[in-house]
Amino acid sequence: MVLNILQSAAIHRVKTELQLIAKWHRILNKAKRRGVQIVITTDSTPKRAFASMGQWVFRSNCGAGVAADTRWAARCFACGTIYPNVVFPADRQAVEDALVVRADRGRNWRPGVTVTELEEENVKRGLPPRNARGGVNAHL
C-alpha cells in the first residue's frame, strides 16, 4: 500500500525535474507531429491542487488534468502550459495521512474539506481515522 498521495514524479515515473521536462517535450513533440498546435506558455496564477484517486492534480486551462508536485513547476502534457504556482493545502501531510488508509479510488480531497471531516468519514467507513506516521498525533 502506497502511504502517500502521488505527485508528478511518481505519476510520470521520473526522478528529476529535468526528466519530467524531457518527457513533456517528447509528448508535446509527438502531438505537434500529428498536427496539434502547441504554444508553450506560462500561467503563474495560483492553481489549487486537489487529491483525485490518490494523485495530487489540478485542472489545466485546456481542461486536461495536470499532475502537481511540491518540488517543481507543473506542466500540462496536453496544451504545453507551465504552471509554476501550484498551491497545496497547508496541512497537506495531515490530509495525506487521513487519505492513505483508504483504497486508491477513495483518496480524494477538495480544498475546503478539513482533516477532521476526512477522519470522521474514515471512521464511518470502518477505517482507522488516519495512518499513524510516527505517532497518532504526529501531524498536530
Q: For residues 83 and 100, which CB has a smaller minimum distance to Zn ion in the complex?
A: 83
Q: For residues 49 and 101, which CB has a smaller minimum distance to Zn ion in the complex?
A: 49
3-state class of 117 per DSSP?
Answer: helix
- CA 114 – CA 8 distance, rounded (Å): 24
For Zn ion, the binding residues (CB under 5 A) are 60, 62, 64, 76, 78-79, 81
Strands 86-87 and 47-48: parallel
**Least distance (Å) from Zn ion to the CB of residue 28?**
10
Q: For residues 78 and 127, which CB has a smaller minimum distance to Zn ion in the complex?
A: 78
**Least distance (Å) from Zn ion to the CB of residue 57?**
12
**Least distance (Å) from Zn ion to the CB of residue 66?**
7
Radius of gyration of the chain (CA): 17
46 phi, psi to nearest 5 deg: -60, 135
